[in-house]
Amino acid sequence: MCGIFACHRHPDVQKFKPTALKLAKQVRHRGPDWSGSVTCNNTILCHERLSIVGVESGAQPLTNADDSIVLAVNGEIYNHRLIRKHLTSPYPFKTHSDCEVIIPLYMEHDIDVPKHLDGMFSFVLYDKSQDRTIAARDPIGITTFYQGWSWKEPGAVYFASELKCLHPVCDKIVAFPPGHVFDSKTGKTTRYFNPSWWDPANVPSTPVDLKALRHALEKSVRKRLMAEVPYGVLLSGGLDSSLVASIAQRETLRLKKKAEEANGNADSADADRGEGLVGIDDDDNLSTATYLPKLNSFSIGLPGAPDNEAAVKVAKFLGTRHHVMTFTIEDGLNALSDVIYHLETYDVTTIRASTPMYLLSRKIKAMGIKMVLSGEGSDEIFGGYLYFHGAPDKKAFHEETVRRVKNLHYADCLRANKSTSAWGLEARVPFLDKEFLNTAMSIDPADKMITKDRIEKYILRKAFDTSDEPDTEPYLPEPILWRQKEQFSDGVGYGWIDALKDNAEHHVTDDMMKNPKPEWGTDIPDTKEAYWYRLMFDEHFPPRCASTVMRWTPTWSKQTDPSGRAIAIHQQKYNDAV
Protein backbone atom coordinates (compact mmCIF):
# COMPACT_ATOMS: atom_id res chain seq x y z
CA MET A 1 0.00 0.00 0.00
CA CYS A 2 1.07 3.54 -0.70
CA GLY A 3 0.06 6.78 0.97
CA ILE A 4 -1.30 9.88 -0.76
CA PHE A 5 -2.06 13.43 0.30
CA ALA A 6 -3.41 16.13 -2.01
CA CYS A 7 -4.94 19.58 -1.89
CA HIS A 8 -6.77 21.20 -4.80
CA ARG A 9 -7.16 24.98 -5.13
CA HIS A 10 -5.22 26.09 -2.10
CA PRO A 11 -5.04 29.92 -2.04
CA ASP A 12 -1.25 29.91 -1.47
CA VAL A 13 0.04 26.51 -2.47
CA GLN A 14 3.73 27.47 -2.39
CA LYS A 15 3.45 28.63 1.21
CA PHE A 16 1.41 25.51 2.01
CA LYS A 17 3.89 23.09 0.41
CA PRO A 18 6.13 22.56 3.50
CA THR A 19 2.99 21.77 5.51
CA ALA A 20 1.75 19.42 2.79
CA LEU A 21 5.03 17.51 2.85
CA LYS A 22 4.83 17.18 6.64
CA LEU A 23 1.26 15.92 6.40
CA ALA A 24 2.21 13.40 3.70
CA LYS A 25 5.01 12.19 5.98
CA GLN A 26 2.31 11.10 8.44
CA VAL A 27 1.59 8.15 6.11
CA ARG A 28 5.18 7.28 5.22
CA HIS A 29 4.68 3.97 7.04
CA ARG A 30 2.36 3.04 4.15
CA GLY A 31 5.02 3.81 1.55
CA PRO A 32 8.56 3.62 2.94
CA ASP A 33 10.26 3.08 -0.44
CA TRP A 34 10.13 6.60 -1.92
CA SER A 35 8.50 10.01 -1.57
CA GLY A 36 7.41 12.39 -4.29
CA SER A 37 5.36 15.54 -4.84
CA VAL A 38 4.21 17.71 -7.72
CA THR A 39 2.84 21.25 -7.50
CA CYS A 40 0.78 22.68 -10.36
CA ASN A 41 -1.02 26.02 -10.24
CA ASN A 42 -2.77 25.93 -6.86
CA THR A 43 -2.79 22.14 -6.48
CA ILE A 44 -0.30 19.81 -4.79
CA LEU A 45 -0.13 16.02 -4.94
CA CYS A 46 2.14 14.08 -2.56
CA HIS A 47 2.92 10.37 -2.62
CA GLU A 48 4.62 7.88 -0.30
CA ARG A 49 5.43 4.74 -2.26
CA LEU A 50 5.46 1.03 -1.49
CA SER A 51 6.84 -0.61 -4.64
CA ILE A 52 5.20 -3.90 -5.64
CA VAL A 53 4.88 -3.63 -9.46
CA GLY A 54 7.16 -1.50 -11.66
CA VAL A 55 9.65 -1.46 -8.80
CA GLU A 56 12.44 0.35 -10.65
CA SER A 57 10.41 2.87 -12.64
CA GLY A 58 7.09 3.50 -10.92
CA ALA A 59 7.87 6.48 -8.66
CA GLN A 60 4.91 8.82 -8.16
CA PRO A 61 3.24 11.20 -8.74
CA LEU A 62 3.05 10.07 -12.37
CA THR A 63 2.71 12.51 -15.26
CA ASN A 64 1.89 12.38 -18.98
CA ALA A 65 4.25 13.41 -21.78
CA ASP A 66 3.85 17.18 -21.36
CA ASP A 67 3.28 17.03 -17.57
CA SER A 68 -0.20 18.51 -17.95
CA ILE A 69 -1.77 15.57 -16.10
CA VAL A 70 -0.51 14.53 -12.67
CA LEU A 71 -1.56 11.36 -10.84
CA ALA A 72 -1.10 9.99 -7.31
CA VAL A 73 -2.43 6.46 -6.68
CA ASN A 74 -2.66 4.07 -3.77
CA GLY A 75 -3.44 0.55 -4.91
CA GLU A 76 -3.01 -2.11 -7.55
CA ILE A 77 -4.60 -2.25 -11.02
CA TYR A 78 -4.75 -5.94 -11.93
CA ASN A 79 -5.89 -5.42 -15.53
CA HIS A 80 -3.24 -2.82 -16.38
CA ARG A 81 -1.61 -4.90 -19.13
CA LEU A 82 -4.95 -5.44 -20.84
CA ILE A 83 -5.72 -1.73 -20.62
CA ARG A 84 -2.38 -0.90 -22.24
CA LYS A 85 -3.15 -3.28 -25.10
CA HIS A 86 -6.64 -1.95 -25.76
CA LEU A 87 -6.23 1.81 -25.57
CA THR A 88 -7.85 3.55 -28.52
CA SER A 89 -4.82 5.79 -29.11
CA PRO A 90 -1.13 4.93 -28.61
CA TYR A 91 0.24 6.31 -25.37
CA PRO A 92 3.95 6.85 -24.54
CA PHE A 93 4.20 5.14 -21.17
CA LYS A 94 7.02 6.37 -18.97
CA THR A 95 7.02 3.47 -16.51
CA HIS A 96 6.06 -0.16 -16.00
CA SER A 97 3.78 0.81 -13.14
CA ASP A 98 0.33 -0.76 -13.17
CA CYS A 99 -1.11 2.60 -12.05
CA GLU A 100 0.08 4.68 -15.00
CA VAL A 101 -2.76 3.37 -17.19
CA ILE A 102 -5.13 5.70 -15.31
CA ILE A 103 -3.71 8.70 -17.20
CA PRO A 104 -4.48 7.50 -20.77
CA LEU A 105 -7.80 6.12 -19.53
CA TYR A 106 -8.68 9.59 -18.29
CA MET A 107 -7.66 11.07 -21.65
CA GLU A 108 -10.03 8.65 -23.39
CA HIS A 109 -12.88 8.24 -20.90
CA ASP A 110 -12.75 11.35 -18.71
CA ILE A 111 -14.54 10.87 -15.39
CA ASP A 112 -15.55 7.28 -16.29
CA VAL A 113 -11.96 6.12 -15.63
CA PRO A 114 -12.72 3.99 -12.54
CA LYS A 115 -15.35 1.96 -14.43
CA HIS A 116 -12.52 0.45 -16.48
CA LEU A 117 -10.25 -0.45 -13.56
CA ASP A 118 -10.06 -3.91 -11.99
CA GLY A 119 -8.27 -3.65 -8.69
CA MET A 120 -8.07 -1.91 -5.36
CA PHE A 121 -7.32 1.78 -5.55
CA SER A 122 -7.81 5.34 -4.47
CA PHE A 123 -6.37 8.10 -6.60
CA VAL A 124 -6.21 11.83 -7.16
CA LEU A 125 -5.65 13.10 -10.72
CA TYR A 126 -5.01 16.74 -11.60
CA ASP A 127 -5.62 18.08 -15.11
CA LYS A 128 -3.57 21.26 -15.44
CA SER A 129 -5.23 22.43 -18.66
CA GLN A 130 -8.66 22.44 -17.01
CA ASP A 131 -7.47 23.22 -13.47
CA ARG A 132 -9.51 20.16 -12.58
CA THR A 133 -9.08 17.43 -9.98
CA ILE A 134 -10.86 14.10 -9.98
CA ALA A 135 -10.58 11.54 -7.19
CA ALA A 136 -11.95 8.03 -6.92
CA ARG A 137 -12.02 4.97 -4.67
CA ASP A 138 -12.36 1.29 -5.56
CA PRO A 139 -15.85 -0.26 -5.52
CA ILE A 140 -15.73 -1.75 -2.01
CA GLY A 141 -13.24 0.56 -0.33
CA ILE A 142 -10.36 -1.89 0.10
CA THR A 143 -7.96 1.05 0.14
CA THR A 144 -8.63 3.65 2.81
CA PHE A 145 -9.37 7.18 1.57
CA TYR A 146 -10.66 10.41 3.12
CA GLN A 147 -11.78 13.84 1.95
CA GLY A 148 -11.70 17.09 3.91
CA TRP A 149 -12.44 20.83 3.85
CA SER A 150 -11.38 23.86 5.88
CA TRP A 151 -13.26 27.08 6.64
CA LYS A 152 -9.94 28.94 6.25
CA GLU A 153 -9.69 27.94 2.58
CA PRO A 154 -13.34 27.66 1.48
CA GLY A 155 -12.45 26.87 -2.14
CA ALA A 156 -9.96 24.11 -1.29
CA VAL A 157 -10.54 20.38 -1.03
CA TYR A 158 -8.19 17.86 0.57
CA PHE A 159 -7.65 14.11 0.07
CA ALA A 160 -5.55 11.57 1.98
CA SER A 161 -5.11 7.87 2.62
CA GLU A 162 -5.50 8.34 6.37
CA LEU A 163 -7.19 10.71 8.80
CA LYS A 164 -3.92 11.71 10.45
CA CYS A 165 -2.99 13.73 7.34
CA LEU A 166 -6.20 15.73 7.31
CA HIS A 167 -7.33 16.57 10.84
CA PRO A 168 -4.53 19.15 11.41
CA VAL A 169 -5.83 21.26 8.49
CA CYS A 170 -9.48 20.27 7.98
CA ASP A 171 -12.61 21.17 9.93
CA LYS A 172 -14.78 18.64 8.14
CA ILE A 173 -13.61 15.14 7.20
CA VAL A 174 -15.53 12.26 5.60
CA ALA A 175 -14.63 8.76 4.55
CA PHE A 176 -14.58 9.00 0.76
CA PRO A 177 -17.42 6.69 -0.35
CA PRO A 178 -16.34 3.48 -2.13
CA GLY A 179 -17.38 3.13 -5.75
CA HIS A 180 -17.59 6.91 -6.21
CA VAL A 181 -15.71 9.56 -8.16
CA PHE A 182 -15.33 13.26 -7.29
CA ASP A 183 -15.03 15.97 -9.93
CA SER A 184 -13.88 19.47 -8.92
CA LYS A 185 -15.47 20.84 -12.10
CA THR A 186 -18.91 20.19 -10.64
CA GLY A 187 -18.01 19.75 -6.98
CA LYS A 188 -20.07 16.54 -7.00
CA THR A 189 -19.25 13.01 -5.88
CA THR A 190 -21.14 10.43 -7.95
CA ARG A 191 -21.44 6.66 -7.88
CA TYR A 192 -19.82 4.78 -10.77
CA PHE A 193 -20.20 1.24 -9.36
CA ASN A 194 -23.77 0.06 -9.81
CA PRO A 195 -24.06 -3.75 -9.91
CA SER A 196 -27.54 -5.22 -9.85
CA TRP A 197 -27.04 -6.67 -6.37
CA TRP A 198 -26.21 -3.25 -4.84
CA ASP A 199 -29.92 -2.59 -4.31
CA PRO A 200 -30.87 -4.95 -1.45
CA ALA A 201 -34.47 -4.99 -2.73
CA ASN A 202 -33.28 -6.96 -5.78
CA VAL A 203 -33.21 -10.38 -4.19
CA PRO A 204 -31.43 -12.80 -6.59
CA SER A 205 -33.15 -15.98 -7.74
CA THR A 206 -30.29 -17.67 -9.63
CA PRO A 207 -29.37 -21.07 -8.12
CA VAL A 208 -25.74 -21.53 -7.14
CA ASP A 209 -23.34 -22.88 -9.77
CA LEU A 210 -20.64 -24.46 -7.62
CA LYS A 211 -18.10 -24.81 -10.46
CA ALA A 212 -18.56 -21.17 -11.47
CA LEU A 213 -18.10 -20.09 -7.87
CA ARG A 214 -14.88 -22.10 -7.58
CA HIS A 215 -13.47 -20.82 -10.86
CA ALA A 216 -14.30 -17.21 -9.99
CA LEU A 217 -12.35 -17.39 -6.73
CA GLU A 218 -9.43 -19.16 -8.40
CA LYS A 219 -9.23 -16.43 -11.02
CA SER A 220 -9.41 -13.75 -8.35
CA VAL A 221 -6.47 -15.25 -6.43
CA ARG A 222 -4.42 -15.56 -9.62
CA LYS A 223 -4.89 -11.86 -10.35
CA ARG A 224 -3.56 -10.97 -6.93
CA LEU A 225 -0.28 -12.78 -7.44
CA MET A 226 0.74 -9.85 -9.66
CA ALA A 227 3.97 -8.80 -7.96
CA GLU A 228 7.70 -8.37 -8.45
CA VAL A 229 8.52 -8.86 -4.78
CA PRO A 230 8.22 -11.73 -2.27
CA TYR A 231 4.65 -12.45 -1.22
CA GLY A 232 2.83 -14.67 1.25
CA VAL A 233 -0.57 -15.57 2.67
CA LEU A 234 -2.18 -14.86 6.01
CA LEU A 235 -3.40 -18.25 7.20
CA SER A 236 -5.66 -18.39 10.23
CA GLY A 237 -6.68 -21.99 9.61
CA GLY A 238 -10.26 -20.94 9.01
CA LEU A 239 -12.10 -21.65 5.79
CA ASP A 240 -11.52 -18.35 3.99
CA SER A 241 -7.80 -17.88 4.48
CA SER A 242 -7.20 -21.61 3.94
CA LEU A 243 -8.96 -21.56 0.56
CA VAL A 244 -6.97 -18.51 -0.51
CA ALA A 245 -3.75 -20.20 0.61
CA SER A 246 -4.66 -23.41 -1.20
CA ILE A 247 -5.36 -21.65 -4.49
CA ALA A 248 -2.26 -19.47 -4.16
CA GLN A 249 -0.08 -22.51 -3.51
CA ARG A 250 -1.47 -24.32 -6.56
CA GLU A 251 -0.79 -21.28 -8.70
CA THR A 252 2.68 -20.74 -7.26
CA LEU A 253 3.62 -24.35 -8.04
CA ARG A 254 2.18 -23.99 -11.55
CA LEU A 255 4.18 -20.85 -12.21
CA LYS A 256 7.31 -22.41 -10.73
CA LYS A 257 6.97 -25.36 -13.09
CA LYS A 258 6.42 -23.01 -16.01
CA ALA A 259 9.50 -20.99 -15.07
CA GLU A 260 11.63 -24.12 -14.90
CA GLU A 261 10.39 -25.21 -18.33
CA ALA A 262 10.99 -21.75 -19.79
CA ASN A 263 14.50 -21.65 -18.34
CA GLY A 264 15.39 -25.14 -19.52
CA ASN A 265 14.81 -26.80 -16.18
CA ALA A 266 16.94 -24.31 -14.31
CA ASP A 267 18.01 -25.09 -10.78
CA SER A 268 14.79 -25.57 -8.83
CA ALA A 269 16.57 -24.33 -5.72
CA ASP A 270 16.87 -20.94 -7.43
CA ALA A 271 13.15 -20.92 -7.99
CA ASP A 272 12.57 -21.80 -4.35
CA ARG A 273 14.64 -18.78 -3.40
CA GLY A 274 12.44 -16.63 -5.61
CA GLU A 275 15.12 -15.81 -8.19
CA GLY A 276 13.01 -16.54 -11.26
CA LEU A 277 10.51 -14.31 -13.02
CA VAL A 278 7.78 -15.58 -15.28
CA GLY A 279 5.00 -13.99 -17.29
CA ILE A 280 1.41 -15.18 -16.91
CA ASP A 281 -0.21 -15.95 -20.24
CA ASP A 282 -2.29 -13.24 -21.91
CA ASP A 283 -4.89 -15.98 -22.33
CA ASP A 284 -5.42 -15.71 -18.61
CA ASN A 285 -5.96 -11.94 -18.91
CA LEU A 286 -3.26 -11.42 -16.31
CA SER A 287 0.03 -10.90 -18.13
CA THR A 288 2.62 -9.47 -15.79
CA ALA A 289 5.88 -10.36 -14.10
CA THR A 290 5.47 -12.52 -11.01
CA TYR A 291 8.02 -13.32 -8.33
CA LEU A 292 8.32 -17.00 -7.53
CA PRO A 293 9.36 -17.81 -3.98
CA LYS A 294 8.19 -20.88 -2.16
CA LEU A 295 4.89 -19.72 -0.76
CA ASN A 296 5.19 -18.40 2.79
CA SER A 297 2.20 -18.62 5.10
CA PHE A 298 1.75 -16.88 8.44
CA SER A 299 -0.45 -17.31 11.51
CA ILE A 300 -0.62 -15.71 14.94
CA GLY A 301 -2.21 -16.46 18.28
CA LEU A 302 -1.75 -16.85 21.99
CA PRO A 303 -0.03 -20.10 22.97
CA GLY A 304 -2.40 -22.97 22.14
CA ALA A 305 -4.72 -20.74 20.06
CA PRO A 306 -7.28 -22.55 17.85
CA ASP A 307 -6.17 -20.63 14.76
CA ASN A 308 -2.47 -21.50 15.04
CA GLU A 309 -3.22 -25.18 15.53
CA ALA A 310 -5.52 -25.27 12.51
CA ALA A 311 -3.11 -23.18 10.40
CA VAL A 312 -0.26 -25.62 11.00
CA LYS A 313 -2.44 -28.48 9.76
CA VAL A 314 -3.38 -26.56 6.62
CA ALA A 315 0.20 -25.49 5.91
CA LYS A 316 1.47 -29.05 6.28
CA PHE A 317 -1.24 -30.28 3.92
CA LEU A 318 -0.49 -27.59 1.32
CA GLY A 319 3.29 -27.65 1.64
CA THR A 320 3.76 -23.95 2.34
CA ARG A 321 6.68 -22.60 4.33
CA HIS A 322 4.72 -21.77 7.45
CA HIS A 323 5.60 -19.31 10.19
CA VAL A 324 3.77 -19.44 13.52
CA MET A 325 3.88 -16.37 15.71
CA THR A 326 2.71 -16.36 19.29
CA PHE A 327 2.08 -13.19 21.22
CA THR A 328 1.41 -12.56 24.87
CA ILE A 329 -1.52 -10.69 26.29
CA GLU A 330 0.95 -8.07 27.49
CA ASP A 331 2.27 -7.66 23.92
CA GLY A 332 -1.24 -7.00 22.72
CA LEU A 333 -2.16 -4.61 25.52
CA ASN A 334 1.07 -2.64 25.04
CA ALA A 335 0.28 -2.20 21.36
CA LEU A 336 -3.34 -1.03 21.77
CA SER A 337 -2.73 2.72 21.62
CA ASP A 338 -0.51 2.36 18.54
CA VAL A 339 -3.09 0.09 16.92
CA ILE A 340 -5.84 2.67 17.42
CA TYR A 341 -3.55 5.41 16.08
CA HIS A 342 -3.01 3.42 12.88
CA LEU A 343 -6.57 2.10 12.56
CA GLU A 344 -8.20 5.48 13.22
CA THR A 345 -11.27 3.83 14.72
CA TYR A 346 -12.69 2.91 18.12
CA ASP A 347 -14.84 0.03 16.91
CA VAL A 348 -14.51 -2.87 19.36
CA THR A 349 -14.48 -5.76 16.87
CA THR A 350 -11.99 -4.05 14.58
CA ILE A 351 -9.55 -3.28 17.39
CA ARG A 352 -9.77 -6.77 18.88
CA ALA A 353 -8.96 -8.40 15.55
CA SER A 354 -6.48 -5.79 14.32
CA THR A 355 -4.07 -6.03 17.24
CA PRO A 356 -2.80 -9.56 16.44
CA MET A 357 -2.78 -8.68 12.72
CA TYR A 358 -0.75 -5.55 13.48
CA LEU A 359 1.79 -7.54 15.50
CA LEU A 360 2.04 -10.23 12.83
CA SER A 361 2.49 -7.69 10.02
CA ARG A 362 5.62 -6.32 11.66
CA LYS A 363 7.16 -9.80 11.75
CA ILE A 364 6.21 -10.46 8.14
CA LYS A 365 7.74 -7.23 6.87
CA ALA A 366 10.91 -7.94 8.85
CA MET A 367 11.26 -11.17 6.84
CA GLY A 368 11.34 -9.23 3.57
CA ILE A 369 7.76 -10.00 2.51
CA LYS A 370 5.96 -6.97 1.03
CA MET A 371 2.57 -8.38 0.02
CA VAL A 372 0.17 -10.90 1.54
CA LEU A 373 -3.16 -12.38 0.52
CA SER A 374 -5.94 -12.37 3.09
CA GLY A 375 -9.47 -13.76 3.42
CA GLU A 376 -11.56 -10.69 4.28
CA GLY A 377 -15.04 -10.33 2.78
CA SER A 378 -16.20 -13.92 2.65
CA ASP A 379 -18.31 -13.75 5.81
CA GLU A 380 -20.15 -10.69 4.53
CA ILE A 381 -20.78 -12.20 1.10
CA PHE A 382 -21.92 -15.63 2.27
CA GLY A 383 -23.42 -14.78 5.65
CA GLY A 384 -20.68 -16.58 7.53
CA TYR A 385 -20.96 -14.82 10.86
CA LEU A 386 -22.68 -16.92 13.49
CA TYR A 387 -25.46 -14.39 13.98
CA PHE A 388 -26.69 -15.24 10.47
CA HIS A 389 -28.20 -18.36 12.07
CA GLY A 390 -30.93 -15.97 13.19
CA ALA A 391 -31.91 -14.73 9.72
CA PRO A 392 -35.71 -15.11 9.47
CA ASP A 393 -35.89 -15.55 5.69
CA LYS A 394 -33.86 -15.28 2.51
CA LYS A 395 -34.84 -11.66 1.85
CA ALA A 396 -33.56 -10.56 5.24
CA PHE A 397 -30.47 -12.72 4.77
CA HIS A 398 -29.67 -11.06 1.44
CA GLU A 399 -30.34 -7.55 2.74
CA GLU A 400 -27.90 -8.16 5.57
CA THR A 401 -25.15 -9.47 3.26
CA VAL A 402 -25.54 -6.38 1.05
CA ARG A 403 -25.42 -4.12 4.09
CA ARG A 404 -22.31 -5.84 5.37
CA VAL A 405 -20.50 -5.63 2.03
CA LYS A 406 -21.39 -1.94 1.73
CA ASN A 407 -19.92 -1.26 5.17
CA LEU A 408 -16.74 -3.28 4.77
CA HIS A 409 -14.69 -0.10 4.35
CA TYR A 410 -15.52 0.79 7.96
CA ALA A 411 -14.56 -2.62 9.32
CA ASP A 412 -12.65 -5.55 7.79
CA CYS A 413 -11.25 -3.64 4.81
CA LEU A 414 -10.05 -0.90 7.14
CA ARG A 415 -8.51 -3.52 9.45
CA ALA A 416 -6.71 -5.41 6.68
CA ASN A 417 -5.48 -2.24 5.02
CA LYS A 418 -4.27 -0.27 8.02
CA SER A 419 -2.98 -3.13 10.21
CA THR A 420 -0.62 -4.17 7.44
CA SER A 421 0.16 -0.72 6.03
CA ALA A 422 1.34 0.35 9.47
CA TRP A 423 4.51 -1.61 8.64
CA GLY A 424 4.70 -1.05 4.87
CA LEU A 425 3.02 -4.35 4.05
CA GLU A 426 0.26 -4.68 1.46
CA ALA A 427 -2.80 -6.91 1.95
CA ARG A 428 -4.81 -8.15 -1.05
CA VAL A 429 -8.29 -9.59 -0.64
CA PRO A 430 -9.45 -12.02 -3.37
CA PHE A 431 -13.01 -12.37 -2.05
CA LEU A 432 -13.67 -8.71 -2.87
CA ASP A 433 -12.78 -9.00 -6.54
CA LYS A 434 -15.42 -7.33 -8.74
CA GLU A 435 -16.05 -10.42 -10.86
CA PHE A 436 -16.18 -12.73 -7.87
CA LEU A 437 -18.59 -10.39 -6.10
CA ASN A 438 -20.91 -10.36 -9.10
CA THR A 439 -20.88 -14.16 -9.15
CA ALA A 440 -21.36 -14.65 -5.40
CA MET A 441 -23.82 -11.82 -4.72
CA SER A 442 -26.07 -12.93 -7.60
CA ILE A 443 -26.76 -16.32 -6.01
CA ASP A 444 -30.20 -17.00 -4.60
CA PRO A 445 -29.77 -16.30 -0.85
CA ALA A 446 -31.82 -19.39 -0.11
CA ASP A 447 -28.69 -21.33 -1.09
CA LYS A 448 -26.61 -19.36 1.40
CA MET A 449 -28.90 -19.67 4.41
CA ILE A 450 -27.83 -21.70 7.43
CA THR A 451 -30.16 -24.60 8.12
CA LYS A 452 -30.25 -27.73 10.23
CA ASP A 453 -28.31 -29.56 7.53
CA ARG A 454 -26.17 -26.70 6.27
CA ILE A 455 -23.29 -25.05 8.17
CA GLU A 456 -22.48 -21.39 7.56
CA LYS A 457 -20.89 -20.75 4.11
CA TYR A 458 -22.07 -24.17 2.97
CA ILE A 459 -21.99 -23.39 -0.75
CA LEU A 460 -18.43 -22.04 -0.58
CA ARG A 461 -17.30 -25.18 1.22
CA LYS A 462 -19.18 -27.38 -1.24
CA ALA A 463 -17.66 -25.55 -4.23
CA PHE A 464 -14.21 -26.70 -3.09
CA ASP A 465 -15.27 -30.16 -1.94
CA THR A 466 -13.66 -32.55 -4.44
CA SER A 467 -14.69 -35.78 -2.71
CA ASP A 468 -16.79 -36.70 -5.76
CA GLU A 469 -14.03 -35.68 -8.24
CA PRO A 470 -11.52 -38.56 -8.22
CA ASP A 471 -9.18 -36.82 -10.69
CA THR A 472 -8.94 -33.60 -8.67
CA GLU A 473 -6.56 -33.13 -5.77
CA PRO A 474 -8.37 -31.94 -2.64
CA TYR A 475 -8.01 -28.26 -1.87
CA LEU A 476 -8.11 -28.69 1.90
CA PRO A 477 -8.32 -31.40 4.54
CA GLU A 478 -11.96 -32.22 5.26
CA PRO A 479 -11.83 -31.06 8.94
CA ILE A 480 -10.64 -27.63 7.77
CA LEU A 481 -13.06 -27.38 4.87
CA TRP A 482 -15.93 -27.97 7.27
CA ARG A 483 -14.49 -26.20 10.35
CA GLN A 484 -16.94 -24.01 12.29
CA LYS A 485 -16.55 -20.25 11.99
CA GLU A 486 -14.28 -18.51 14.50
CA GLN A 487 -14.08 -14.72 14.37
CA PHE A 488 -10.39 -13.80 14.12
CA SER A 489 -10.35 -12.04 17.49
CA ASP A 490 -11.67 -15.28 19.05
CA GLY A 491 -9.50 -17.68 17.05
CA VAL A 492 -6.22 -16.10 18.18
CA GLY A 493 -7.10 -17.30 21.68
CA TYR A 494 -10.11 -16.69 23.89
CA GLY A 495 -7.89 -15.22 26.60
CA TRP A 496 -7.27 -12.18 24.39
CA ILE A 497 -10.82 -10.84 24.56
CA ASP A 498 -11.13 -11.74 28.22
CA ALA A 499 -7.98 -9.76 28.96
CA LEU A 500 -9.27 -6.73 27.06
CA LYS A 501 -12.48 -6.75 29.07
CA ASP A 502 -10.63 -7.17 32.35
CA ASN A 503 -8.26 -4.30 31.61
CA ALA A 504 -11.11 -2.06 30.57
CA GLU A 505 -12.58 -2.58 34.03
CA HIS A 506 -9.42 -1.08 35.53
CA HIS A 507 -9.38 1.93 33.19
CA VAL A 508 -13.07 2.84 33.12
CA THR A 509 -15.15 3.35 36.26
CA ASP A 510 -18.89 3.04 36.67
CA ASP A 511 -19.02 6.79 37.21
CA MET A 512 -17.28 7.39 33.88
CA MET A 513 -19.85 5.20 32.15
CA LYS A 514 -22.63 7.30 33.63
CA ASN A 515 -20.97 10.56 32.55
CA PRO A 516 -19.62 10.24 29.00
CA LYS A 517 -17.91 13.18 27.32
CA PRO A 518 -20.42 15.77 26.03
CA GLU A 519 -18.58 15.99 22.68
CA TRP A 520 -19.45 12.35 22.00
CA GLY A 521 -23.05 13.38 21.40
CA THR A 522 -25.29 10.36 20.87
CA ASP A 523 -22.41 8.02 20.00
CA ILE A 524 -22.08 6.70 23.56
CA PRO A 525 -20.04 3.55 24.26
CA ASP A 526 -22.22 0.83 25.75
CA THR A 527 -19.45 -1.19 27.42
CA LYS A 528 -16.34 -0.32 29.40
CA GLU A 529 -14.18 -1.86 26.69
CA ALA A 530 -15.76 0.38 24.06
CA TYR A 531 -15.38 3.39 26.38
CA TRP A 532 -11.68 2.61 26.89
CA TYR A 533 -11.04 2.47 23.14
CA ARG A 534 -12.87 5.74 22.62
CA LEU A 535 -10.65 7.42 25.21
CA MET A 536 -7.53 6.19 23.39
CA PHE A 537 -8.97 7.35 20.07
CA ASP A 538 -9.51 10.82 21.55
CA GLU A 539 -5.85 10.95 22.58
CA HIS A 540 -4.89 10.78 18.90
CA PHE A 541 -7.76 12.45 17.06
CA PRO A 542 -10.12 15.41 17.57
CA PRO A 543 -13.89 14.81 17.90
CA ARG A 544 -14.58 15.73 14.26
CA CYS A 545 -12.80 12.53 13.17
CA ALA A 546 -15.46 10.39 14.87
CA SER A 547 -17.81 10.93 11.93
CA THR A 548 -15.66 8.51 9.92
CA VAL A 549 -16.17 5.65 12.40
CA MET A 550 -18.93 3.03 12.34
CA ARG A 551 -19.33 0.54 15.17
CA TRP A 552 -19.84 -3.12 14.16
CA THR A 553 -22.92 -4.78 15.67
CA PRO A 554 -24.62 -8.06 14.78
CA THR A 555 -28.22 -8.14 13.56
CA TRP A 556 -30.93 -10.45 14.98
CA SER A 557 -29.07 -10.51 18.29
CA LYS A 558 -29.49 -8.56 21.54
CA GLN A 559 -25.93 -9.06 22.76
CA THR A 560 -23.72 -6.04 23.52
CA ASP A 561 -20.54 -8.04 22.89
CA PRO A 562 -19.96 -8.45 19.12
CA SER A 563 -17.73 -11.51 19.58
CA GLY A 564 -18.84 -14.64 17.77
CA ARG A 565 -18.19 -16.53 21.00
CA ALA A 566 -20.91 -14.47 22.69
CA ILE A 567 -23.54 -15.92 20.37
CA ALA A 568 -25.26 -18.95 21.85
CA ILE A 569 -24.90 -21.01 18.68
CA HIS A 570 -21.09 -20.91 19.05
CA GLN A 571 -21.13 -22.73 22.39
CA GLN A 572 -23.76 -25.16 21.13
CA LYS A 573 -21.69 -26.07 18.07
CA TYR A 574 -18.54 -26.29 20.16
CA ASN A 575 -20.18 -28.69 22.59
CA ASP A 576 -21.50 -30.78 19.68
CA ALA A 577 -17.98 -31.01 18.24
CA VAL A 578 -16.53 -32.06 21.58
Q: Is 155 annotated as a binding residue?
A: no
183 has binding-site annotation: no
Which pairing describes strands 146-150 and 172-175: parallel, antiparallel, or unpaired?
A: antiparallel
> Which of 329, 335, 338, 351 is closest to 493 using CA atoms?
329
Residue 125 CA: distances (Å) to CA of 44, 72, 105, 130:
10, 6, 11, 12
- Provide CB contacts within 8 A for 561, sequence distance 6+: 527
Q: Which residues pair with 120 in a beta bridge?
A: 76
Report the distance separating Cα 251 and Cα 82, nearest Å: 20
* Rounded-to-integer distance, Cα 104 and Cα 457, Å: 41
CB atoms closer than 10 angstroms to residue 168: 11
The set of residues, in sequence order, having a beta carbon less than 8 Å from that of 174 and lying 6+ positions away, is: 146, 147, 148, 547, 548
Of residues 21, 22, 55, the one with CA closest to residue 426: 55
Backbone CA torsion sign across 553, 557, 561, 562? negative
2, 7, 99, 545: the catalytic one is 2
Task: Check if 2 is active-site.
Answer: yes
163 is in an annotated binding site: no
Pairing of strands 296-301, 180-183: unpaired
On whether 234 is known to bind a ligand per the annotation, the reply is: yes
Q: Give the span between the Cα atoms of 368 and 62, in whole angstroms.
A: 26
Q: Say if residue 98 carries a ligand binding annotation.
A: yes
Sequence-distant (≥ 6) Cβ neighbours of residue 575 within 8 angstroms:
none
Residues serving a catalytic function are 2
- What residues form the annotated binding site? 98, 234, 300, 374-375
